[in-house]
Amino acid sequence: MIGLFFGSTNGNTAAVAGLIQRELKEQTGIEVELFDIADYYLEEMLEFSHLIVGIPTWDIGQLQRDWETSIEELDELDLQNKQAAVFGLGDQVGYPDTFGDAVFFVADKLESQGAALVGAWSTEGYSFSGSWALREGHFIGLMIDEDNQSDLTPERVRLWVRQLVDEFGLALSESSKS
């Protein structure tokens, strides 16, 4: 029911994908299927009603290399009637002017193919000077900084997944209702 598609050069985005998968399982009992886009075509997205998409920003505001190769595959996909949430990895200290920029390019493309975006995330607790990933004062999706704030990652993932459960309209499992 939920497909999570990600690209990851150094493994950080892959690790966060695993955390999201585990959280969703814990909170709802729902299985998330993981797709490293180095190994799969984006056409697999058509199998799912709910999509989660992960991308780190590389090379000063650019797409991660597997996304660079694959993003045009989205042009062929009809994503109407699907909900999508995007998460990004970035380094706000090393790249404060282009923090998480790549999230915008993927989110924009998903939307132009008809997907409804959910999962906007507050900028509170981050320090940066510029990002394409902003919309109406919020990040378009979850932003994770493993280079500088890895201690905050588990809680950010937990809260974002809780938000997705609500925005995707999924049911919480009995054990996580408290």
Ligand X SMILES: Cc1cc2nc3c(=O)[nH]c(=O)nc-3n(C[C@H](O)[C@H](O)[C@H](O)COP(=O)(O)O)c2cc1C
In the complex, the residues that contact ligand X under the rule CB under 6 A are 8-13, 56-61, 64, 89-91, 95, 98-101, 146-147
* 36: helix, strand or coil: strand
CA distance 62 to 105: 9
Tell the smallest beta-carbon distance from residue 78 to ligand X (Å).
28
Nearest CB to ligand X, comparing residues 3 and 54: 54
Nearest CB to ligand X, comparing residues 139 and 168: 139
User: Which two tokens mark 127?
Assistant: 């320090």
Q: What is the C-alpha radius of gyration for the chain, rounded to an integer number of angstroms?
A: 15
What are the phi and psi torsion angles at 134 (to 5°)?
Answer: -95, 140
Tell the smallest beta-carbon distance from residue 115 to ligand X (Å).
22
CA distance 93 to 155: 20
CA distance 42 to 24: 22
Tell the smallest beta-carbon distance from residue 82 to ligand X (Å).
24
Tell the smallest beta-carbon distance from residue 49 to ligand X (Å).
26
**What residue spans of 54-152 are helical by DSSP H?**
65-70, 102-112
Nearest CB to ligand X, comparing residues 64 and 83: 64
- Going 7 to 55 to 18 to 165, the CA torsion angle's sign is negative
Nearest CB to ligand X, comparing residues 12 and 83: 12
User: Which two tokens mark 82?
Assistant: 């699907």
Nearest CB to ligand X, comparing residues 89 and 106: 89
Tell the smallest beta-carbon distance from residue 113 to ligand X (Å).
23
Give the residue nearest to ligand X (CB): 90
